[in-house]
Amino acid sequence: MKLTKEAIDLIIEHEGLRLEAYQDPVGVWTIGYGTTTAAGIGVIVKPGMRISEPEARAMLHDALNKFADKITPHFTRKPTDNQYGAMLSLAYNIGPGAFINSTALKRFNSGEFEGAAEAMTWFNKAGGKVLRGLVRRREAEARLFLSDDTQAPLPRPDPVRESAAGSTTVLASAGQAAAGVSTAAGAVAMLDGTAQIVALCIAGAVIILALYIMRERLKKWGGGVR
């Protein structure tokens, strides 16, 4: 497992950067990219504290490693990198204890990936109130979590053709030639005069074009182009 750039970008975007200590919506003193004293990385966040952007990134790095060490022993199956990043983002935001006891983790461990992603979105409140910022973050985490399972299936390879008869181009050309013959026959039987001549000319052109295409495809087949 590794923390991908997509997961780090998600965390940075939704945590935001504050170089001076502030109180979050529930009154916890926070600094940098969401670092609090409770992160346990040896930083005591207090009023008036100021840091630089490199210090904020270093704190985030240390905190994510700390949180990863706490939650990964509770995985009973190996997550993909995107699942891991999404769950670590959630744990970093709600705390490792809440994550370890969450329905999201239980469902992940039982293989209910869609159910796990849904359960992640439940953590959208702070101080008992739904916050739009948390709603957006949970939606982003759920999308990241499921991203490995929503890829389109790989196209099936074309079957190997053993002869020119299996070529779709040859078959289509033969069909066009047959249609031209049919048109010519119909013109002779049903039309007369100028209309008959026009229909015969069109049918003849279709037959000639179809035979030319078929000949070129057979030449390529003979040269080894399948």
Question: Could you tell me how far CA 108 lies from the centroid of its own chain?
Answer: 19
Contact indicator for 119, 113 with CB cutoff of 8 Å: no
| Catalytic annotation, pick one of 13, 15, 141, 216 | 15
Q: Which residues of 200-221 are buried (b: 16+ CB within 10 A; e: fewer)?
A: eeebeebbeebeebbeebeeeb
Has 6 been annotated as catalytic? Answer: no
Q: Catalytic residue positions?
A: 15
